[in-house]
Structure 1
Amino acid sequence: MDVGILFDLRNPNAWHRPWADHYARSLEFCEEADARGAGGVWFTEHHLFEDGYLPQPLTFAAAAAARTRRVRIGTAVVLPNLRKPAQLAEDAAIVDLISGGRLELGVGAGYRVPEYNLFDAEFGRRFTLVEQNIREVRRLWAEGGITPGPVQSPVPVWGGFYGPRGVRIAGRLGIGLLHISHKLFEHYREGLIEGGHDPETARVSDLLPVILADDPEAAWPRIAPHLAHQMNTYRQGSVEGTDHPRPPLLGPGDFPDRPADGSWATLEILTPEEAAVRIHERTKGLPVKHLIFWASIAGMPDDLVARNIELISERLPVLLAKLAGTERERVPGGE
């Protein structure tokens, strides 16, 4: 499995740096990940966030593609319903061309009413529309409906869905599932069968709520304020434009580093050794292709970001490979 790094380009007021500098530094981190052997750099989409959450991931992906040579270039996710299918097909094709065929296109339905209002899109029909739009983008690529087309045929497409309805859509379309869940994986396989696809073609990936550090205890108080900012924007943004009440603001002390039940926390700060064991257990039995990690949590200090990228790119893959090899040795006849 590939191990990649996601950038959301948040630049909160409390830790703000000039926007041009912030984007330039983020591209340098992409180059660093590429040089250190990361499997991918990924970008995500939101609109109308005060901290400048990246609104156009494919635009930034094109810049990252031009500055790197080996990493996969992914979106986790871009929102097809906020674009015409032809525009998304063209934008994605250009990224694939610039990168020499390294694009991984993750797509999703989104969850924020204001974003749909900004683009005059229909929020209530978002799942129906996202399935239609993904089909149309793939048709345009396959039938030469845009020029130039992408290098890859087909471009790997991933569905970033977190409930049974969306997961079945990913299956029906025969695309990858950008969510690691043993429970929902069965819905995905059922969708593959429903869409006439071989269930053995199933593949999953996900963004994991993990930051790596040499000393998690020392890193936690430095990252907690940034996590509080990030989670408050998600919580407030999820009800914006609806009749639901705004949730109370969270503080740095509201986030347990590791829950007692062993499930993923909102964020875990782990050593590479701890993370490898947790990930190995959580992904066992699933056809995992990409593991994706946050590069930064809402403008956290650069020294922590740089070390996080270094550990993800260089140390974690070695540890995961060792665990996988040990697992194979336990199986009679394992290869």
Structure 2
Amino acid sequence: MDVGLLFDLRNPSDWRQEWAYHYARTLEFCEEADQRGAGGIWFTEHHLFEDGYLPQPLTFAAAAAARTRNVRIGTAVVLPALRKPAQLAEEAAIVDLISGGRLELGIGAGYRVPEYQLFDIGFERRFGRTGEVITEVQRLWTEGGVTPGPVQQPVPLWGGFYKPRGARLAGRLGMGLLHISHEMFPHYVQGLVEGGHDPAAARVCDLLPVLLADDPEEAWTRVAPHLAHQMNSYRQLSVEGTDHPVPPLLGLEDLRHQPTDGSWGLLEILTPEQAAERIHARTAGLPVRHLIFWASIAGMPDDLVARNIELVSEQLPPLLDKAFAEAATTGG
């Protein structure tokens, strides 16, 4: 497995940087991650967020591809249902070409009605349309329906779905599952079988709600206001365009709630040693290919971002290797 970092480029008004500087600085962070040996840099998509949540991940991925040499370039996720198949096939192929064959294309169905309205696409059929678009993208690449095609044959595809229906869809389309879950994994394997794919080809990756820091308690104090913005805006915008009630705002005391079943909290700030132990406990037994960590939380201070990138890229990988190697030796 490799480790990578996700950038959503949120730039909230309370901590806003000038937009051109913010984009340029994020590209510098991508370069730093590449130079420090990170396994991937990943970008995500949403529309109509006041804080400027990245709306076009493949456009930014192309810029990052041109500024890096080794790191995988991923989307976690892009929304195929908002694009015509030929458009997505061409855009993704260009990123793969610029990067020399480093693209990992993660896709999802989205969760917000206004995003679909913006593109005049029906929200109710988003799962069906997502599957249709990806199927056509695969055909276009295979049959030369767009030119030039990508370097990789095939481009690694990942389905960012969190419920049984989506996990089966990812399997039927022969994609990896962009969700690390022992509960969803059997549904994903079922989908692989239904689609005529070898279940031994199953692979998973995920965005983990984790930041790394030398002093997690000190970092938590500084990150908490940014996390409150991230979570509250995401939750409240989820009901926009529907008749669902607006969820209550989370207070700082709510952000540190830890589930009793051992699953992830909203965000865990850990040392590399703590993270390696925690990740092994949550992923053992699954065919993990990529682990993705937040690079930044909603405009948090640059020094914390830089140190997080350094710890994720350089210190965490050998600790993970050691944890999994020791488990394999002991059968744990």
- Which of the five TM-score ranges fits, normalised by the shorter chain? over 0.9
Q: Which residue of 2 aligns with 1:155?
A: 155
Query: What is the correspondence of 1:33-112 to structure 2 with a 5 Å cutoff?
Result: 33-112=33-112
Sequence identity percentage: 77
Write the letter of the residue equivalent to 1:171: G
SS, match of residue 174 in structure 1: coil
Is 1:322 equivalent to 2:317 in the alignment?
no
Q: TM-score, normalised by structure 1?
A: 0.98
Do the aligned partners of residues 103 and 320 (structure 1) sit closer, same or farther apart at CA in structure 2, a change above 3 Å counting?
A: same
Query: What is the correspondence of 1:155-234 to structure 2 with a 5 Å cutoff?
Result: 155-234=155-234
Write the letter of the residue equivalent to 1:293: F
Write the letter of the residue equivalent to 1:193: V
SS, match of residue 124 in structure 1: coil
- Matched pairs, number: 332
Q: Which residue of 1 aligns with 2:287?
A: 287
- Whether the 8 Å CA contact 1:257–1:269 is kept in 2: the answer is no
Query: What is the correspondence of 1:268-287 to structure 2 with a 5 Å cutoff?
Result: 268-287=268-287
Q: Give distance in 2, aligned partners of 1:253 and 1:112.
A: 27
Q: Which residue of 2 aligns with 1:248?
A: 248
Is 1:130 equivalent to 2:130 in the alignment?
yes
Q: Give distance in 2, aligned partners of 1:248 and 1:216.
A: 27
Is 1:143 equivalent to 2:152 in the alignment?
no
Q: Which runs of 5+ in 1 are unaligned?
A: none
Q: CA deviation at 1:176?
A: 0.3
1:301-323: per-residue Cα shift (whole Å, max 9, x none)? Answer: 00000000000000100100011
1:64-99: per-residue Cα shift (whole Å, max 9, x none)? Answer: 000000000000000000010000000000000000
- Whether the 8 Å CA contact 1:66–1:98 is kept in 2: the answer is yes
Q: Give distance in 2, aligned partners of 1:63 and 1:115.
A: 24
Q: Which residue of 2 aligns with 1:313?
A: 313
SS, match of residue 183 in structure 2: helix
1:239-288: per-residue Cα shift (whole Å, max 9, x none)? Answer: 00000111122232321164444220000000110010010111100000
Query: What is the correspondence of 1:4-15 to structure 2 with a 5 Å cutoff?
Result: 4-15=4-15
Q: Give distance in 1, aligned partners of 2:320 and 2:211.
A: 16
Q: Give distance in 2, aligned partners of 1:258 and 1:29.
A: 30
Q: Give distance in 2, aligned partners of 1:269 and 1:259.
A: 15
Q: Give distance in 2, aligned partners of 1:240 and 1:279.
A: 34
Q: Which runs of 5+ in 2 are unaligned?
A: none
Q: TM-score, normalised by structure 2?
A: 0.98
Write the letter of the residue equivalent to 2:65: A
Q: Give distance in 2, aligned partners of 1:99 and 1:157.
A: 16
- Whether the 8 Å CA contact 1:225–1:251 is kept in 2: the answer is no
Q: CA deviation at 1:193?
A: 0.5
Q: Give distance in 2, aligned partners of 1:250 and 1:257.
A: 11
